[in-house]
Amino acid sequence: MRTLTVDLPGRAYDIQIQRGLLDLAGERCRTVLPKAARIFLVTDSNVEPLYLERTAASLRSAGFRVSTCTVPAGESAKCPEELAILWENMMSAGLTRTDAVAALGGGVVGDLAGFAAATILRGVDFIQIPTTLLAQVDSSVGGKVAVDLRAGKNLAGAFWQPKLVLMDPDVLDTLPDSTFADGMAEVIKYGCIFDRAFFDFLAARPSRKELMADIEHILYTCCDWKRSVVVEDERDTGRRMLLNFGHTLGHAYELAGHYETWTHGQAVAAGMVLAAKLGTKLGLTPPELAGQIERAVTALGLPGTIECSHEEYVAAIGLDKKGAGDDISLIVLEEMGKAVPHRMSKAALLEAL
Ligand code: GLY
């Protein structure tokens, strides 16, 4: 087993990475929840037939009473309506303030269940059991929980750190290739922004099979970087913003495709390539980096470029006539493995695009 500690004052928690960990979820949860009688386990309709019963059985074997709730798979479940359903079901199940909520699933389940945990009874303990690569390397660590509003993604939420994050690399075996590749966009991002040697390590393993052979090292490295950023800047006002590399442009692609044409990982992949090209145009990024990132992402079936009109960039970057002159922090690479924020006007960014 590999363990990392997210050392936040008074709210430190472990990330455990271990094959077969799903079957040990009960004993591991018991160590951090000595008084909890019940765990309210949230999953989605994709994960339920694969892993719900195994996880629930493990929790029961550690003496927890388990209530389960399955939300529809997909981003549309991350909404206030599903949140309200969870709240009501938690109360019907008899959840008390000494009980806990656990999320078994990808980023949508983690964000939704986490926000429910942060708000029900003014906050109860929360456990993350991420089952997608994207959730394992990014969303399950760091405490950002939210639901989407009609006005945009993640607009109602909280910082609510879990008590424990349990990562079983074996559960990644059931992911479709495209979902695995989605998570790899975020994995490659860590190499780009923090760790040149890790980028080279990934680039030398351009297939899922090769990556899965080293998956524990990959998960550990990503979570170690995420942990260090979260400890330094939990509230996302400084260094944590470096994690947005590729995301400003990626959000434009997601928005232009109405969150249906492009997945988050696909949009981030193309967004990182364009951010490198923009960095070069601004005289900040060595010219060979865009090609290096493009080769790494396209080898996994992710797009290196996505078409987007000027109007779509304007809509996403938020420059309308009223907002003209506002600044934006674009994350750019000074070298492979070293990201910096580059403050520029939105107008200048759109001009560069
Ligand atoms: N996913 C970016 C962050 O947690 O800050």
Question: Where are the alpha helices (H) located in the chain, listed in sequence order?
Answer: 25-32, 53-61, 80-92, 107-119, 133-134, 177-194, 196-203, 208-213, 215-232, 247-256, 264-281, 288-298, 310-317, 346-352
* Banded model confidence at residue 291, pLDDT cuts 50, 70, 90: very high
- Does ligand 1 lie within 6 Å of residue 137's CB atom? no
What is the whole-number distance in angstroms between the Cα of residue 243 and the centre of ligand 1? 6
3-class secondary structure, 320 = coil
Task: Give the type of residue at 52.
Answer: L
- Does ligand 1 lie within 6 Å of residue 240's CB atom? yes
Predicted confidence at residue 320, as pLDDT, reads 52
3-class secondary structure, 143 = coil
pLDDT of residue 121 exceeding 70: yes
Torsions phi, psi of 106, nearest 5? -90, -160
Cα dihedral 66/70/76/78 (nearest 10): 0
- Does ligand 1 lie within 6 Å of residue 236's CB atom? yes
Residues 6+ apart with CB under 8 A from 5: 12, 13, 14, 15, 227
Predicted confidence at residue 323, as pLDDT, reads 46
Q: Cα separation of 2 and 6, whole Å?
A: 13
Predicted confidence at residue 318, as pLDDT, reads 77
By alpha-carbon position, which residue is closest to atom 5 of ligand 1?
240
pLDDT of 195-211, one tens digit each?
999 999 999 999 999 99
Tell me the two tokens of residue 105: 């699933």
Q: What is the mean pLDDT of residues 242-270?
A: 94
Predicted confidence at residue 325, as pLDDT, reads 62
Instruction: Decide if 166 contacts 127 (C-beta within 8 A).
Output: yes
Instruction: Decide if 250 contacts 274 (C-beta within 8 A).
Output: no
* Banded model confidence at residue 178, pLDDT cuts 50, 70, 90: very high
Instruction: Decide if 95 contacts 121 (C-beta within 8 A).
Output: yes
Residues 6+ apart with CB under 8 A from 88: none
* Banded model confidence at residue 319, pLDDT cuts 50, 70, 90: low
Predicted confidence at residue 322, as pLDDT, reads 46
Indicate the average pLDDT of the chain: 96
Q: What is the mean pLDDT of residues 270-283?
A: 97
Distance of CA 259 to CAs 72, 75, 135, 254, 319, Å? 17, 9, 18, 5, 20
Ligand 1 atom nearest to CA at 236: 5
- Does ligand 1 lie within 6 Å of residue 227's CB atom? no
* Banded model confidence at residue 124, pLDDT cuts 50, 70, 90: very high
pTM (2 decimals)? 0.95
pLDDT of 40-75, one tens digit each?
999 999 999 999 999 999 999 999 999 999 999 999
* Banded model confidence at residue 253, pLDDT cuts 50, 70, 90: very high
What is the whole-number distance in angstroms between the Cα of residue 144 and the centre of ligand 1? 7
What is the whole-number distance in angstroms between the Cα of residue 139 and the centre of ligand 1? 6
